[in-house]
Amino acid sequence: MSPDDHLQIRACAERARDAARTLRRLDAARRHAALEAIARRIDDAREAILAANAKDLEAATAAGLSAAMVDRLRLDPPRLAALSAAVREVAALPDLLGPAQENRVRADGLVIGRRRVPLGAIAMVYESRPNVTVDAAVLCLKSGNAAVLRGGREAAHSNAALLDVVRDGLEAAGLPRDAVQGVPTAERAAIAELLRHDDCLALAIPRGGEGLIRHVAEVSRVPVIRHYKGVCHLYVEASADLDVALRLSIDGKCARPSACNALETLLVDAAVASTFLPRLDAAMAARGVRLRADPAALSRLPRAEPADASDWDTEYLDLVLAVKVVAGMDEALDHIARHGSLHTEAIATRDATAAARFQAEVDASVVAVNASTRFNDGGELGLGAEIGISTTKLHAYGPMGLESLTATRWDLVGDGHVRAPVTDPE
């Protein structure tokens, strides 16, 4: 990068810091008005957004991207309508900020309260669909934060058009355009350069493949929310209702295999292997799912391929499922402790003691009993919206809603309260 790039990125970080300071001071009504203005602009600027998106689609097709990738990039009138509707939904969520809550009075009269405050300026680095540009901006603004956005190159035109729309909406509502910014240069080195400025940026949220997230965690001086991968298991325990186990397997693997909460490995108790595996085999074959099985499972799954050691740590993101027969709960828990990703783990069981032990001992952001791994999602869990999923326990664990974009700090009110007695010096 050129020296000028360095200066421009520094200036971007400083503008974000300053805009965050302005946002802190705004009341909920002002933030709400900005979100409404953004939603309106999305509706009004449909033609310009679709024209920008057409350029990305053309380039993607020319570059030979898969049909699935091109579809992820695509915007069309229904998707844009859903996007502005999502903005209005976020606008309508309860506001979290404001004066101190939970006030209590100490015996000496000091009043102690807690106030929910924005984090400041948040850097989002993502590879995902262009609607993330709007979703991320709007969740940051709703929670009083400024945002610096760095989307994927393949969506560059769409992201730029959506960024213009967001900034026009901010301006229309009398908020600083710099409350949401793009990174000034498209080079990959700009990510590391931006994330040096921990005096301006409060948080970095990477969204995308594990490579991107490890890169951000490696280069950033700014604290990073990490979501490495989702290697989610379902343990079909000896007492399981096998109809339930099959439903959870099908939903977990087939409904949306590219999602991080999709099922990757099935652990089948030896006690039910001979009855369950043939049913699994038929159900997965009918849905085009390839199975990769350990030796014990292979004997019941004639169509499966033999799994190798790497399968147990692989997030396939595809219609592939690893299957292993385990001797019982101990082996299932050991396997999950070794290969789990702190994302989502599930058990199918009719035994309340087994369910309680699984929930007590498994380490994951969501632990489900007789429910699909696919419920690890901010919307499903009642958070209203989601800016990412954390698979470390720091700051947030699991889906991150608006509350994860805030912190609580302490407000004290006294009338001259001191800790040590103030006396005249001898």
Minimal distance, residue 244 CB to a copy of itself, in Å: 4
Footprint (CB under 8 A) of a copy of itself, residues 312-351 = 337
Minimal distance, residue 359 CB to a copy of itself, in Å: 5
Taking the alpha carbons of 389, 196, 8, 35 in that order, is the dihedral positive or negative?
A: positive
Q: 76 vs 334, which CB is nearer to a copy of itself?
A: 334
Footprint (CB under 8 A) of a copy of itself, residues 351-410 = 355-356, 359-361, 363-372, 374-377, 380-382, 392-395, 397-398, 406-410
Interaction between residue 194 and a copy of itself (CB under 8 A): no
Question: Quick one: DSSP state of residue 224?
Answer: B
Which single residue is written with the structure tokens 């967001």? 166
Interaction between residue 422 and a copy of itself (CB under 8 A): yes
Contact by Cβ (8 Å): 160, 52: yes
Interaction between residue 68 and a copy of itself (CB under 8 A): no
Q: 2 vs 423, which CB is nearer to a copy of itself?
A: 423
Minimal distance, residue 159 CB to a copy of itself, in Å: 26
Question: Binders of a copy of itself: how many residues, by CB under 8 A?
Answer: 80
Picking from 392, 344, 9, the residue whose alpha carbon sits closest to that of residue 206 is 392
Q: 163 vs 232, which CB is nearer to a copy of itself?
A: 232
Contact by Cβ (8 Å): 122, 409: no
- CA-based R_g, the chain, Å: 25
Taking the alpha carbons of 27, 29, 32, 36 in that order, is the dihedral positive or negative?
A: negative
Write out the E strands in 65-156: 101-105, 111-118, 121-126, 146-150
Q: Out of 25, 68, 78, 302, which residue is the one contacting a copy of itself (CB under 8 A)? A: 25
Q: Out of 48, 287, 295, 353, which residue is the one contacting a copy of itself (CB under 8 A)? A: 287
Taking the alpha carbons of 419, 421, 425, 426 in that order, is the dihedral positive or negative?
A: negative
Distance of CA 337 to the CA centre of its chain: 22
Minimal distance, residue 211 CB to a copy of itself, in Å: 15
Picking from 163, 81, 165, the residue whose alpha carbon sits closest to that of residue 124 is 163
Q: 188 vs 287, which CB is nearer to a copy of itself?
A: 287
Minimal distance, residue 114 CB to a copy of itself, in Å: 9
Q: 1 vs 381, which CB is nearer to a copy of itself?
A: 381
Interaction between residue 418 and a copy of itself (CB under 8 A): yes
Question: Biggest alpha carbon distance in the chain?
Answer: 91
Picking from 30, 40, 11, the residue whose alpha carbon sits closest to that of residue 176 is 30
Name the segment binding a copy of itself (CB under 8 A); options: 160-168, 216-224, 230-238, 271-279: 216-224
Contact track, a copy of itself, 230-269, x by CB under 8 A: -----------x-xx--xx-xx--xxx-------------
Assign 320 to helix, strand or coil.
Answer: strand
Footprint (CB under 8 A) of a copy of itself, residues 100-159 = 100, 104, 106, 110, 112, 115, 117, 119-120
Q: Out of 65, 217, 219, 238, which residue is the one contacting a copy of itself (CB under 8 A)? A: 217
Q: 239 vs 406, which CB is nearer to a copy of itself?
A: 406
Distance of CA 135 to the CA centre of its chain: 11
Write out the E strands in 157-270: 180-182, 203-207, 232-236, 263-269
